[in-house]
Amino acid sequence: MALERKLFDAGRQVFVLDGDIIRTGLCQDLGFSSKDRTENIRRIGEVARIMANSGLCVIVAFISPFRVDRDRVRDAMLESCFIEVYVNAPLQVCEKRDTKGLYARAIRGEIADFTGISSPYEPPVSPEVELNTDRLSVAEAVDSVLSFLSQ
């Protein structure tokens, strides 16, 4: 949300597509199986593509666990309209930041197909930006993305 604010303040038309919000509407019929996760990313990729083609800067804040799904979305976008930002944090940091208690529930086996616990996460091979959020402040992370965008 800090990146959205900075872009907006700089005069950009920007919109955040948030995974939790999309799951309660557009993708409410999907679960968390590998097949459903693929469809979830396909749908949000299509929405992001349509929005970007209309001139919006779209920030897609999603857990996208499979490389092939991210690559499909990239391939569907216009040239240079897709920037992969890998928000990288160790599992312990994710658990500490988890205000909903989902990691604890997944570790106890109460949530199936939880990314990074009972379902795999395939890190990007060469993202445009990698943010090691266990070492960066929010402001530093935003500055890293903005620096890349200015290039």
Residues with Cβ < 8 Å from 49, sequence gap 6 or more? Answer: 73, 76, 77, 81
Choice among 64, 119, 137, 150 that is catalytic: 64
119 belongs to the catalytic site = no
Kindly report the number of other CB atoms within 10 A of residue 118's CB atom.
13
Report residue 121 CA to chain centroid gap.
12
Indicate which residues carry an active-site annotation. Answer: 64
